[in-house]
Chains A and B, each alone.
Chain A
């Protein structure tokens, strides 16, 4: 996907005037935040206040994997291969595309049905497939809408089309499908279903992501609400799973723990509608094949060929760094849903695949700090993201560390650097600071001109474009305190 993160500020500001988008964001926020709160409260009631303990357990599982990632990957590769899957490795987006195209060529594929895969977004896979004459069809309803809307990028990692409302989708469907316009959601869903059925049965290859890779069994876990993941992974003769190398969990028991966290954090569901464990190639229906059955000879359905493409695309660089904990992310989207900035501007302004707090950490780390300068700055550090993160990633701390990295690398604007230096110099010298604050006050008092508020703050126009600045009381505390305590 083309990265646009350098235009964050302009794009974010533009979203503020988009009335429709703002309404959609308000609605989505209410839904996500309230649902999660309810799910957590229910869990706590039923389990005697233990959602926090669950988060600790989730963090521990992910940490165990990330601390020792190469060993776990080896285990996974060995187990998955033993079950008849091929495990391939991709260093970057280009390699993902090359591998997928190779596989498509090998199996004579003309049409690919896709379930949601963020890695495919990272790689810009759809464009690569189209360029090679292979037709990709997105089957996640949200992704499908984006595709027929002219390949719009997703604006949320689990609700990719949350920036659109029903009316917009109704227009789009009527236009694209040539059907009468309908606005009831069930009717729209049925319409998409009818269109997608055709593709499900005719495609030769399915591509999906994976929410987790289970090392113990060599399985991929798919967690969806629409069931399209099952179609994609079981109907075509070839199934390709594309996912990041960090998605490993050691055991099925660990997977169960994380599944208590993921749906509750993501959508407030106790469990998602479909949870599929896909192990190896055709051996009966995929979901049933998680037990350690070794005899695959009686298998009749499911894909004949299963490929895992495990992707680095910058992730290895985080290992052993101060940002390693970011690899624990399970892509639940809770940090987006609870972020005051994301709630206000939506996902597109972030300019790449991952928006919100997790995107503001990941994008600079995966794409280059210098290519996403605004993202780590575009946070109030309110800490709500780290409060809700199911695996307790200290997102505000990571954002702050990225800010430090920008400063160290000399990537902040000159004026800003000078201002900081001057301020820090003064703050370390009380005498000078005293004089400087008095001068600043004279300026502010002059701006206020005796009124209670300043409407145009010359030194910080960014502040006063959208709000007033309450006038200062007139003297500094230190001045007044000295007057008060010194006998006159």
Chain B
């Protein structure tokens, strides 16, 4: 099966290892992965920032790119290592393009084929093993868009349970927002950081070796706050990195 990987703008810029981990996981499950060289951002920041025109422009661009992948490479699905980008593509694109019937049906075509990575591995591919191993314990933070927009809760946990050596230690209030909120984290930095602090306090109650999540934005927020609070040892990892067995340090090919 061929799938198009949507890397996401944050992963592209800040932590490419997550993109490579996603490729490894998909290939390990028997997929051939295509990455459109022209991809940038799904447009969610503009959508949430109130710039509807920009959000529409980027929605069209992403839709056209996928159609391209589908036509030329025969990609059946679009997969992305982010609940919030998947939520944007699945739920926001059809709504954003609702005024334009031709574009709306193209949006719906993509929406039906767009998956968050862990959701895809579990729901579509039914994977029963993953390449990674992890000697230690992790807690899992549910990011808001994936959880409430797409109903992703069991999928990452089911996959983590397949990792040899890994124990899952749930933190209290794992489903509560970490305070990231995209531009909110900069516009209202003090409030955002105060919410992040609550998340970090809960994360530390789990006393796990690593905090794992499915959205890089939230992970940056949580890791940044943990470090500022003086925690130098709790690792903060994307679920793809853990499942693929690549940590941030050694994931990047060189």
Q: Which residues of A contact B (CB under 8 A)?
A: 9, 12-13, 16, 340-341, 343-345, 377-384, 386-387, 400, 402-407, 412, 420-421, 423-424, 426-428, 430, 433, 437, 440-441, 444, 452-453, 460-470, 472-478, 480-484
Instruction: List residues of chain B with CB within 8 A of the CB of A407.
Output: 49-52
B19 at the interface (CB under 8 A from A): yes
Q: Is B139 an interface residue (CB 8 A)?
A: no
Contacts of A475 in B (CB 8 A): 16, 252
Which of chain B's residues have a CB closer than 8 A to the CB of A480? 16, 20, 252-253
The answer to whether B184 and A461 touch across the interface, beta carbons within 8 angstroms, is no
- A451 CB, min distance to chain B CBs, angstroms: 10
Decide if A453 touches B50 in the complex (CB within 8 Å). no
The CA of A341 and the CA of B75, in the complex, are separated in Å by 41
Interface residue? B98 (CB, 8 A)? no
Q: Which of A341, A441, A472, A477 contacts B191 (CB under 8 A)?
A: A341
- Cβ contact within 8 Å between A477 and B195: no
CB distance from B175 to the nearest CB of A (A): 8
Chain B residues with CB below 8 A from A344, complex form = 179, 191, 194-195, 198
Contacting pair A465 B149 (CB below 8 A): no
For B50, give its contact among A345, A412, A463, A464 (CB under 8 Å): A412
Kindly state whether residue B177 has any CB partner on chain A within 8 Å: yes
CB pair A427–B191 under 8 Å, yes or no, is: no
Docked CA distance A390–B220 (Å) = 33
Write out the residue numbers on chain B whose beta carbons fall within 8 Å of the beta carbon of A383: 144-145, 148-149
Smallest beta-carbon distance B234→chain A, Å: 13
Chain A contact surface mostly: helix
Query: Is B227 on the interface with A (CB-CB < 8 A)?
Result: yes
Set of chain B residues within 8 Å of A402, measured between Cβ atoms = 50
Q: Which of B4-12, B113-121, B124-132, B161-169 contacts A (4 or more CB under 8 A)?
A: B4-12
Q: Are A466 and B196 in contact (CB under 8 A)?
A: yes
- Nearest residue in A to B19 (C-beta to C-beta)? A477
Which residue of A is nearest B196, CB measured? A467
Nearest B residue to A13 via CB reads B190
B52 near A424: Cβ-Cβ < 8 Å: no
How distant is the Cα of A404 from the Cα of B221 in the complex, in angstroms? 26
Contacts of A463 on B, CB cut-off 8 Å? 185-186, 189, 192, 224
CB distance from A399 to the nearest CB of B (A): 9
Assembled-state Cα–Cα distance A400/B87 (Å): 15
CB of B224 within 8 A of CB of A472, answer: no
Partner of A427, one of B43, B190, B227: B43
- Report if A378-B188 is in contact (Cβ < 8 Å); known contacts: A340-B176, A470-B227, A477-B19: yes
A480–B11 Cα distance when bound, in Å, is 12
Report whether A473 and B189 are in contact in the complex, using a CB–CB cutoff of 8 Å: no
B189's partner among A462, A474, A477 (CB-CB below 8 A) is A462
A-B contact pairs, 22 of them (CB 8 A): A340-B179, A344-B191, A344-B198, A377-B187, A380-B180, A381-B144, A381-B182, A382-B181, A384-B177, A423-B45, A427-B43, A427-B58, A430-B37, A430-B40, A461-B189, A462-B187, A464-B224, A466-B189, A466-B225, A470-B227, A470-B236, A481-B35
| Cα distance, A463 to B191, chains bound together (Å) | 10
**List of A residues within 8 angstroms of B225 by Cβ:** 466-468
A469 contacts B13, C-beta separation under 8 Å: no
Given A344-B195, A407-B51, A462-B187, 4 more pairs with CB closer than 8 A: A16-B190, A403-B49, A428-B40, A473-B251
Answer whether residue B41 sits at the interface, using C-beta atoms and an 8 A cutoff.
yes
Tell me the bound Cα distance from A12 to B144 in angstroms. 23
Shortest beta-carbon distance, B237 to chain A, in Å?
11
> Given A380-B184, A473-B16, does the pair A12, B50 have CB atoms closer than 8 Å?
no
Q: Residues of B contacting A427 with CB < 8 Å?
A: 9, 40-41, 43, 54, 58, 61
By a CB distance below 8 angstroms, the chain A residues around B196 are 466-467
B73 beta carbon closer than 8 Å to chain A: no
A466 touches B144 (CB 8 A): no
A378 with B11: CB separation less than 8 A: no
Instruction: Report the minimum CB–CB distance from B226 to chain A (whole Å).
Output: 8
In angstroms, Cα B111 to Cα A180, docked, is 67
Q: Compute how far the CA of A460 lies from the CA of B20 in the bound complex, rounded to whole angstroms.
A: 28
A482 — which chain B residues lie within 8 A by C-beta?
Answer: 37
Q: How many Å from the CB of A382 to the closest CB on chain B?
A: 4
Contact partners of B9 in chain A: CB under 8 A: 427
**Given the known A-B contacts A427-B43, A463-B185, A466-B225, are A478 and B37 also in contact in the complex, defined by CB atoms under 8 Å?**
yes
Query: How far apart are the CA atoms of A465 and B197 in the complex, in Å?
Result: 13
Contact, CB under 8 Å: B38 / A430: yes
Q: CB within 8 A of A477: which of B12, B51, B52, B186?
A: B12
